[in-house]
């Protein structure tokens, strides 16, 4: 029997791109006819006709499976759900907008079957077509997180990745709620081959990521993969104590030598404000960690399925 590949496709309001996606993917599956495929679409609480399209696809092709969430849980939850349901010897995650070219699958498959890798990952080497401000902040994010985190988080890495069972099972062991796949992939280890490609713009529809969403996601990444900001807070506190000690000695000595002309109200006020600001800033950081711990402890499910065509076993 041929080996089975599971393709996991998170979809959020993708009615416009799905027809293009399906056309290109079926072409690739035809080309790789030495393999069996299952395509698991995860409808992440779409508000457009995505689910209708998926139902129709499933009716017309037995390789199509779908899960539909009860609301929008986010791409990370959708990927996890799809991978959890994958039965394949290999599984790949792919975006529905063709920004992850299905044509690369063949090369990825070769890497995991013939070249001894456990996963084949992709990174785009350009950010062509992206707003420059967004590229700038994205670059900065990767610089910062890589300085602080132990696992490597590759700049430009996509979630588009083919993995073998061993890799997949390890990934599914990580049941955390605050999922940051770019880090989780690195965290599980194993051997990964990186394939590079030029950025492709989405075929249709619009990106689901606002600047604010991306910002929150980047905080999630930092909190999930490093506690360096906490160390930084202690360090900063220590430094300020030292400064305070020195200035106290300075003031006492000055008083003894020159008497005490009261002056410097403005500088005192700004010092107090500055220190208050730093304290609030780091309290915010502590709060982030605490909030993440809180969501983990509640232990809610990562997603809730409202409808699917999987037979419950």
**DSSP characters over 187-207:** HH-S-EEEEEE-----SSS--
**DSSP characters over 238-257:** HHHHHHHHHHHHHHHHHHHH
Total residue length of the chain: 313
Q: What's the min distance (Å) between Cβ of 144 and Mg ion?
A: 23
Question: DSSP class of residue 118?
Answer: S
Determine the size of the site formed for Mg ion (CB under 5 A).
4
Interface segment toward Mg ion; rule CB under 5 A; list 97-105, 162-170, 219-227, 245-253 = 97-105
Q: What's the min distance (Å) between Cβ of 240 and ligand UDP?
A: 39
Residues 81-120 binding ligand UDP (CB under 6 A) are 95-97, 99
Q: Note whether 308 and 65 are within 8 A (CB).
A: yes
Is 308 a binder of Mg ion (CB under 5 A)?
A: no
Is 97 a binder of Mg ion (CB under 5 A)?
A: yes
Q: Which does 12 bind (CB under 5 to 8 A by kind): Mg ion, ligand UDP, none?
A: ligand UDP
Residues 152-211 binding ligand UDP (CB under 6 A) are 202, 207-209
Q: Nearer Cβ to Mg ion, position 148 or 214?
A: 214
How crowded is residue 298: how many other Cβ atoms within 10 Å of its Cβ? 8
**DSSP characters over 67-107:** EEESS---HHHHHHHHHHH--SSEEEE--TTSSS-GGGHHH
Q: Nearer Cβ to ligand UDP, position 212 or 265?
A: 212
Note the residues at the interface with Mg ion (CB under 5 A): 95, 97, 99, 202
Note the residues at the interface with ligand UDP (CB under 6 A): 10-12, 14, 44, 72, 74-75, 78, 95-97, 99, 202, 207-209
């Amino acid at each position: 029997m041929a080996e089975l590949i599971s393709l996991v496709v998170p979809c959020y309001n993708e009615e416009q791109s799905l027809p293009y996606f399906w056309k290109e993917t079926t072409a690739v599956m035809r080309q790789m006819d030495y393999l069996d495929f299952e395509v698991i679409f995860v409808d992440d609480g779409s508000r457009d006709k995505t689910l209708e399209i998926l139902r129709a696809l499933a009716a017309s092709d037995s390789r199509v499976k779908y899960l539909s969430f009860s609301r929008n849980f986010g791409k990370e939850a959708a990927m996890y759900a799809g991978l959890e349901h994958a039965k394949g010897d290999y599984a790949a995650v792919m975006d529905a907008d063709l920004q992850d070219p299905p044509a690369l699958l063949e090369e990825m498959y070769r890497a995991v079957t013939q070249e001894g890798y456990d996963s084949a990952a992709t990174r785009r080497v350009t950010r062509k077509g992206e707003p420059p401000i967004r590229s700038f902040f994205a670059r900065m994010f990767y610089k910062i997180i890589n300085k602080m985190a132990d696992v490597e988080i590759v700049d430009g890495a996509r979630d588009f990745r083919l993995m073998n069972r061993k890799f997949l099972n390890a990934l599914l062991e990580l049941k955390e709620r605050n999922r940051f796949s770019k880090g989780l992939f690195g965290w599980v280890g194993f051997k990964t081959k990186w394939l590079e490609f030029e950025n492709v713009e989405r075929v249709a529809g619009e990106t689901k990521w606002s600047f604010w969403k991306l910002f929150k996601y980047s905080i999630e990444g930092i909190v999930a993969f490093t506690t360096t900001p906490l160390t930084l807070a202690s360090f900063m506190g220590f430094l300020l104590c030292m400064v305070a000690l020195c200035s106290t000695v300075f003031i006492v000595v000055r008083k003894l030598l020159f008497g005490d002309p009261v002056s410097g109200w403005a500088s005192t006020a700004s010092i107090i404000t500055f220190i208050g600001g730093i304290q609030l800033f780091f309290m915010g950081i502590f709060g982030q960690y605490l909030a993440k711990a809180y969501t983990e402890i509640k232990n809610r499910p990562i997603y809730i399925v409202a409808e699917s065509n999987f037979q419950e076993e």
